[in-house]
């Protein structure tokens, strides 16, 4: 979500004459978009502001604006803690940032805007820039894009600061979401990821269509190849949405379904409003509907009061589900949340020990799943050059590309003898059939499969398999 918000901030600045610079030393304006979901993220923000303080001593005209969740949480206190800051804008003030920058440029008076709204300014999501200047800065060339469909959360998990810094659930209008996606497709986007703190509750508060109905509408957008979404709260995962994986051919067979803990006692303390049994039932139904469904999750270790027995139940659930991958975090107290007041804190040493066990177990499971894919065929959406493109090109003079499977696994490949290896055709945005040949911890490697001699050139958007 912060990536998406940052792109929108940049979009509005570029269309008003600013130009993106890769060097902070050359900047006239620095915008820091922050996260406070974990303590480490907030610490990084303040550390960066400390470095900016030294920069501003050399360049007193530099404007520093801080937005996002730390800004929303701290408000006036942010300026006291970091005097280098000129503008504080909260999570609902992105569309007002340009107005604040303009006012500060003229009056040089600090501005604090953490007011929350009851509605969403739809125009900031899809309006066309006034000119094409700086289009590279707003990622016009990307084939994948994030699309926010709602903001805020009302689940009030006891460890989570989101409801306090993002506000109540507000869904965007379906027509506006579809229009933004159509706009992105015209610019070359082939895959969209729909974003929300809990996409499963989309539209309920505003009386719009259900999330499953929205996905069906997006599925009909011409030129769009793939749809993903995140995040799904297990308690609200409906049968209607599960069945959408069959009815919508563009919806990828991957779902991120955060479980957080395998202990019912801890889940109750977290206010998650489901049990481990409920969760496993939904996983079983998902896999019955789509046997090759990729399921990923989030795990929190060291929640206040978590015993060794509770933790072992989490490990058991991970073994039973056999997630494709997971994100695991050590619990940390956050301002305002109820769990910060809970007793029986787990020591940092024990949290680290448990985190390492979770990561080691998941690495074993992921490795097993990846090796089972060797010899299988997958259609990739090519996203561009791989991270190791330059070294690979020097070694064998071939371009190394990267893409993702429907189940969201990164696959790297080079053109083999079945293709014209010297061709400079840009594969970005193409759908390529790749045979998996190697399995690694976080990615796969394969070769494009091509047999039809009538289509040896790289023109066209698909490579066919006989």
What's the pLDDT tens digit per position in 87-141?
A: 999 999 998 999 999 999 999 999 999 999 877 766 555 554 333 333 444 444 5
- Residue at a domain's end among 113, 135, 153: 113
Least trusted range by pLDDT, from 134-138, 182-186, 237-241, 359-363: 134-138
The predicted structure's pLDDT at residue 370? 97
pLDDT of residue 348: 97
Residue 232's nearest CA partner among 251, 207, 206, 208 is: 251
Cα-trace Rg, the chain: 24
Q: What is the largest CA-CA distance in the chain?
A: 70
Side-chain half-sphere CA neighbours of 181 within 13 A: 31
Last residue of a domain, one of 56, 89, 113: 113
pLDDT at 138: 44
Distance CA 410, CA 370 (A): 11
**0.85 cut: is pTM over it?**
yes
Do 90 and 239 belong to one domain?
Answer: no
Tell me which of 54-58, 99-103, 182-186, 434-438 is least confident.
Answer: 54-58
Q: Is residue 310 part of a domain?
A: yes
Q: Which CATH number does the domain housing residue 72 bear?
A: 3.40.50.12160
Pairing of strands 377-385, 431-439: antiparallel
Q: Closest by alpha carbon to 295, among 244, 265, 259?
A: 259
Of the listed ranges 12-21, 118-127, 306-315, 388-397, the least confidently predicted one is 388-397
In tens, the pLDDT along 419-446 reads: 444 445 678 999 999 999 999 989 999 9
Listed residue (233, 349, 389, 218) closest to 298, CA to CA: 233
Domain match, 97 and 166 both: no
Cα separation, 354 vs 358, in Å, equals: 6
Distance, in Å, from the CA atom of 391 to the CA atom of 388, rounded to the nearest integer, reads 6
The conformation of residue 41, written as its DSSP 8-state character, comes to H
Q: What is the CATH number of the domain that holds 441?
A: 2.40.50
One domain for residues 215 and 247 = yes
The domain of 27 spans 2-113
Whether residue 236 sits in one domain with residue 205: yes
For position 399, what pLDDT does the model report?
78
Are residues 67 and 52 located together in one domain of the fold?
A: yes
Element (H, E) at 382: strand 377-385
């Amino acid at each position: 979500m912060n990536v998406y918000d940052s792109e929108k901030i940049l979009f509005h600045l570029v269309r008003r004459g600013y130009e993106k610079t890769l060097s902070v030393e050359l900047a006239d304006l620095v915008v820091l978009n922050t996260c406070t979901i974990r303590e480490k993220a907030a610490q990084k923000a303040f550390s960066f502001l400390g470095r900016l303080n030294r920069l501003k001593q050399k360049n007193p005209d530099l404007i520093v604006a801080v937005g996002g969740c730390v800004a929303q949480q701290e408000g006036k206190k942010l300026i006291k803690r970091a005097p280098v800051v000129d503008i504080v804008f909260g999570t609902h003030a992105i569309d007002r940032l340009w107005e604040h920058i303009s006012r500060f440029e003229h009056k040089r008076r600090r501005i604090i805007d953490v007011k929350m709204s009851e509605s969403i300014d739809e125009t900031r999501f899809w309006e066309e820039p006034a000119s094409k200047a700086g289009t590279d800065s707003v990622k016009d060339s990307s084939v994948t894009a994030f699309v926010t469909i709602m903001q805020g959360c009302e689940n009030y998990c006891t460890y989570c600061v989101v409801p306090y810094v993002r506000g109540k659930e507000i869904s965007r209008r379906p027509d506006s979401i579809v229009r933004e996606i159509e706009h992105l497709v015209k610019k070359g986007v082939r895959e969209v990821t729909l974003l929300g703190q809990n996409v499963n509750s989309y539209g309920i508060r505003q009386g719009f269509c259900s999330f499953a109905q929205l996905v069906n509408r997006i599925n009909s957008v011409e030129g769009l190849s793939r749809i993903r979404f995140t995040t799904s709260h297990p308690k609200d995962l409906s049968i209607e949405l599960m069945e959408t994986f069959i009815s919508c051919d563009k919806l990828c067979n991957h779902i991120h379904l955060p479980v957080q803990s395998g202990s019912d006692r801890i889940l109750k303390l977290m206010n998650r409003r489901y049990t481990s049994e409920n969760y496993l039932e939904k996983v079983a139904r998902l896999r019955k509907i789509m046997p090759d469904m990729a399921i990923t999750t989030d795990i929190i270790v060291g929640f206040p009061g978590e015993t060794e027995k509770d933790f072992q139940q989490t490990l058991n659930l991970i073994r039973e589900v056999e997630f494709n991958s997971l994100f695991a975090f050590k619990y940390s107290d956050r301002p305002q949340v109820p769990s910060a007041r809970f007793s029986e804190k787990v020591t940092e040493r024990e949290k680290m020990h448990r985190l390492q066990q979770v990561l080691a177990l998941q690495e074993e499971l992921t490795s097993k799943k990846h090796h089972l894919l060797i010899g299988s065929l997958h259609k990739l959406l090519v996203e561009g050059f791989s991270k190791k493109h330059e070294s690979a090109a020097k070694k064998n003079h071939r371009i190394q590309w990267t893409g993702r499977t429907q189940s969201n696994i990164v696959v790297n490949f080079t053109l083999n003898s079945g293709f014209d290896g010297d061709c400079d055709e840009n594969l970005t945005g193409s759908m390529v059939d790749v045979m998996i040949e190697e399995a690694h911890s976080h990615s796969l490697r394969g070769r494009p499969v091509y047999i039809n001699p009538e289509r040896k050139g790289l023109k066209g958007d698909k490579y066919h398999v006989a």
